[in-house]
Amino acid sequence: MESIGVIRAERDPPGINHDRWVALIDKHPNLLHPPPIEGINSFTRGPMIAHPRPDVASVVIEGQEIGMMYWSENEANQINVFGDSQTVAQLAHEVANLLGGLFEADPT
């Protein structure tokens, strides 16, 4: 999936609120937490389950995963947006509005 932009506060800092973002994932019908992934522990060679971070969301429209949004790891208080530039961008504008921010599309 390609990066299509970021959601950030209109005036940064302080940026988008992390707790409100995680709460929105739980409430929004098109945002879902990715499921845990089964794997092999490289040290013990035994089975393990990796749980995605709570601030990661799959973008799902009509049952199809078409994108992803996740909290920036660089302490920028923003949400990185990936996926289809038309459909996911439309949802990114909605999410930004709900969080009191703006969606800034990557330059094409």
**How many CB atoms neighbour CB 85 within 10 A?**
17
Helix (H) or strand (E) holding 56: strand 56-61
Specify the 3-state DSSP secondary structure of 99.
coil
Q: What are the tens digits of pLDDT across the range 41-94?
A: 999 999 999 999 999 999 999 999 999 999 998 877 899 999 988 899 999 999
pLDDT of residue 22: 97
Question: What is the phi/psi pair of residue 48, to 5°?
Answer: -145, 160
User: CA-CA distance, 80 to 66, in Å (whole number)?
Assistant: 14
pLDDT of residue 14: 62
User: CA-CA distance, 57 to 71, in Å (whole number)?
Assistant: 9
Query: 31: closest CA among 96, 100, 106?
Result: 96
**7 near 98, Cβ under 8 Å?**
no
pLDDT of residue 9: 85
Q: What are the tens digits of pLDDT across the range 6-40?
A: 999 877 566 688 999 999 999 999 999 999 999 99
Specify the 3-state DSSP secondary structure of 27.
helix
**24 near 13, Cβ under 8 Å?**
no
